[in-house]
Chains A and B, each alone.
Chain A
Amino acid sequence: MAAPATDRRAQQDAHPSGDERFALLDKALKRARFEQDQLVELLHTAQEVFGHLSDDVLIYLARQLRLPPSRVLGVASFYHLFTFEPPGDHICTVCMGTACYVKGAEDVVRETSEAFDVPAGETTDDGRLTLWTARCVGSCGLAPVVVFDGTVLAKQTPQDLIAHVRELLAAEDAAAEEEAG
């Protein structure tokens, strides 16, 4: 990296919980040479490993990078991709950009929200589905667009999306039942 490589590797204590996921974060910290300017990358890693950014993880990162916790939380809360609540098993993000909007994205959100009894921005009570909205995912030629578990679904009507989610959940139920019995 460009910044002078001051050695911050004077080892900090490992996380007291012994949670193995912290070992993954430690590896990323080492790769980043504990450089403070790698904070955004490390937050990405932490969220990938833990699913969301808990206070515990943020404080741990602050300690390892020798940054004030306010700085770490300040950066994490600035960017929309970082989340502080654990999301559900599946994440469904409906694009509300203008091209999607004029082609009915609002209906997609409303009807999906009703079908699975989950307000936009939240997770179902059983923790299986999170419904989010995005401001524009940059696939305007495929409007209305939904990003489901990282995969772009093109030209979605509410019926398309609801059927897709129901099918997926039903398949999971069937698999679980088979395993159980």
Chain B
Amino acid sequence: MSEPISVLTQRYDVPDAHTLAGYERTGGYQSLATAFDQAPTDLVSQVKDAGLRGRGGAGFPTGVKWGFTPRGTGKPTYLVINADEGEPGTFKDRELMERDPHQLLEGIIVSCYALESERAFLYLRGEYLWPGVRLEHAIAEAYEAGYLGKDIKGSGVNVDVTLHYAAGAYICGEETALLDSLEGRRGQPRLRPPFPAQAGVYGMPTQVNNVETIANVPHIVQHGVDWYRSMGTEKSPGPKLFCVSGEVNRPGNYEWPMGATAREIVEVSCQGMLDGRELRFWTPGGSSTPLLTGAHADTPMDFEAIMEAGSLLGTAAMQMFSDRTSVVEAARNWTKFYEHESCGKCTPCREGTFWLSQIYDRLLEGRGRSEDLDLLDEICDNIFGRSFCALGDGAVSPIKSSLALFRDEYEHLIAHGRLPDGIEAHTDAVDRNSGHGRPEQLVGA
């Protein structure tokens, strides 16, 4: 049995945690002195030993990635924070930046020091206006107090942070597309190699890390590797933000150790499924991860176990759907998203997502043909592994998995021209349960 924990979210209930005063009062910026006492390369080893894995979806070990950064080249090194959180169902970074922006800045400062970088770019999703307000304020306060800028608190360390507002393109969450976008171009992915660690922003060595990943760093530095590894599993240690949405009583961001199960998180943090409904299907890590069913509710939520169950942990965005909700309709919704967001660079993804979308429209309008399911399969196979970047792979995940797990619903649609009885396109129940604890709430101006 796992228990909810409070590491990254420890200040979420402190009303003024977003201000420097509130952050310092609750123990903020204390990892800086510990960090600056050590050699940068020692910090990289520490992050490697702690087993921190990237929280942006891929789960690559952060310390190993940091190790790819060349040192002593005479070129500037850049840290880029990927805050372009745009996948349906994912909203962990938004709340983190709204409620505790200084935690991210502290992570940036320590990480920059470890990477011997003097400039970080924060690439913020353009729609995230309120997190932007909070971050701008926090960055200004940090400069004022000497946590950013030249010679931070007399340590001789220099770190500058540039906040960049993106302009609405899901593809820019892909790290090389993000780099092009940061340089003022259309955000389309670059051919690798060279990898960003060698040639990233303006051709300089660059690390691209997720917001939640960087927010973990000061905790590792301050409390040590053993403490960090006391949470989670051997291969996926540490705390994790799970963003739960869909048909649960209290959707929101909840922090649990890696390896907690979906059942635990939904029962304890979300107070169960809406109206006691049965869990039918869910995404463990956002819309680009293959669907799982109610039978997988006891799978530990860590990178290994979820992969073994046939999916990916991704960003741990759990979208939960009940036995009343149509999986075909949900898959159409995701497909429309990818159709809209395909950047147009490569043919399989650009054309394929349009074809897939047409087939879904046909199916759900009662015009499905008997060969449509094989056609879906074939188009998916021609996109998966054949598109330029991972967007295409993500686009076909919900389709392939729903075809494998819920073929009967597709077949019913084709045979009868409508959804099976008791299954609806969408539920009209809007919960207004305020509850206790920390379901997602509006952060007011």
Closest Cβ neighbor of B431 among chain A residues: A155
User: Which B residues are in CB contact (< 8 Å) with A103?
Assistant: 426-430
Contact between B88 and A78, CB atoms less than 8 A apart: no
Q: Which chain B residues (313-343) contact chain A, with CB distance < 8 Å?
A: 317, 319, 321, 325, 329-330, 333-334, 336-337, 340-341, 343
A138 to B130, CA, bound (A): 12
- A150 within 8 Å of B by Cβ? yes
Contact between A79 and B167, CB atoms less than 8 A apart: yes
- A96 within 8 Å of B by Cβ? yes
User: CB within 8 A of A2: which of B168, B202, B337?
Assistant: B202
Interface centre among B287, B439, B440 (most CB of A within 10 A): B440
Contact between A142 and B119, CB atoms less than 8 A apart: no
Contact between B334 and A98, CB atoms less than 8 A apart: yes
With A43-B167, A98-B319, A143-B245: A138-B427 Cβ-Cβ less than 8 Å: no
Q: Specify the main secondary structure of chain B where it touches its partner.
A: loop
Binary contact readout A43-66 vs B (1 if CB under 8 angstroms, 0 otherwise)? 110000000000000000000000
A39 to B180, CA, bound (A): 12
Binds B, one of A6-14, A23-31, A117-125, A129-137: A129-137
A154 to B325, CA, bound (A): 22
A51 to B: closest C-beta gap in Å: 16
Contact between A78 and B187, CB atoms less than 8 A apart: yes
- B204 within 8 Å of A by Cβ? yes
**A interface bracket (residues with beta carbon within 8 Å of B):** 35 or more
B133 to A: closest C-beta gap in Å: 10
Contact between B169 and A135, CB atoms less than 8 A apart: no
User: Which B residues are in CB contact (< 8 Å) with A165?
Assistant: none
Closest Cβ neighbor of A141 among chain B residues: B440
User: Which A residues are in CB contact (< 8 Å) with B166?
Assistant: 40, 79
* B contact residues vs A (CB 8 Å cutoff): 76, 78, 85-91, 94, 119, 125-130, 162, 164-170, 181-187, 201-202, 204, 243-247, 251-253, 287, 317, 319, 321, 325, 329-330, 333-334, 336-337, 340-341, 343, 425-432, 439-442, 445
